[in-house]
Structure formats: C-alpha cells, structure tokens
Amino acid sequence: MEIKPLIYIAGAISPTNPNKHPLLEWGENFDRFLKADIKLRKLGFAPYNPSLDYMLLLYAAGLDITPKFFYNVSLSVLSKCEAMFVLKGWNNSKGTQKEIWFCEKNGIKIFFEELNGYKEIEKYFKERSKKDETKKKNRTEVPLLRKKA
C-alpha cells in the first residue's frame, strides 16, 4: 500500500469582500476548496480540506463548538502535513496568514495556486520520491542474526 503525501488546503473560507453578498462569496470559496481537493486527489495526494470542518461548524450551530475549536483542529492536522497548498484569494484571510506563518515556523513546504502551484507540488513530490527510491536502493541490508538451536 502506498502512503500518499498529506496536503493541507488553505485559503479564505469566511467572506471578506464587503462588495459581495456573504453567502455568494462563501459558496465561491467552498467551491474553490472542493475543486482543489479533487484536483490534488487526482494528482495522487491525500488532501485535508478544512472547509469541510467549516461545514461541520455550521451544522453544529447552537452547540458549544466554536470556530476557534475547529481552527485548533485544523492546526493539529496541519502539523502532520507534508505540505500546504494555498488557494487564490487567500490574501485577506487572517486564518490563512496564520497558517502560512505556522508552516514557515515548522518547516512545512508551501505551494501557492497562483504561482503554478499544481505543477510545482507535483514536481516537488516526484523529485522527492525519486530521491527516496535511490536511498532505498543504496541502503545496505544487514542480515539478521539467528541463534543456533
């Protein structure tokens, strides 16, 4: 079984544009996350999509679950990811800005959709996979020692 690289998808989820109806903007943001999720899966990654957690937050309205709770869950997942993929339109998202800072402090690779992100993330992990294969081939196997009966 091949373990796929875990990729965190970051971007604006909450509406930030005062010139657009909040529900329309939220729908566009959610759509952007879903499209990125599907595309990353097709490229062979295991994406984590925090906008789905946001849906859980809306579903749990009235319960004692806060946006801060979900954000902390997202950061916990991000800490386990090999990379973060940042969607277009992230600039006004305070959450995404914090996530970028978190990645920079923790050595997590960041790819930006607007900077040829899909090609770059695919290239990076293909090259890394080749290096890993070379290391495996060059590894010296140590024979197991068995006790004589």
Q: pLDDT tens digits, the chain, 149 residues: what are they?
A: 678 999 999 999 888 888 989 889 888 999 999 999 999 999 999 999 998 887 777 676 666 667 677 788 889 999 999 999 999 989 888 889 999 999 999 999 999 999 988 999 999 998 888 776 666 666 656 666 666 66
| Strand stretches in the chain, DSSP E | 6-10, 46-48, 83-86, 109-112
Q: Can you give the pLDDT at residue 26?
A: 84
What does the block give as tokens for 145?
């020692």
Residue 144 within a domain: no
Domain count of the fold of the chain: 1
H-only helix segments in 60-116: 67-78, 94-106
* Structural domain that includes position 78: 6-136
Three-state secondary structure call for residue 122: helix
Residue 142 within a domain: no
Q: Measure the CA–CA gap between 34 and 57, rounded to whole angstroms.
A: 17
Residue 47 within a domain: yes
Q: What is the CATH number of the domain that holds 35?
A: 3.40.50.10400
Pairing, β 6-10 against β 46-48:
parallel
Q: Can you give the pLDDT at residue 33?
A: 95
Q: Can you give the pLDDT at residue 112?
A: 96
Residue 113 within a domain: yes
Residue 1 within a domain: no
End-to-end CA distance of the chain: 36
Closest by CA to 105, choosing from 132, 84, 125, is 84
Three-state secondary structure call for residue 59: helix
Residue 116 within a domain: yes
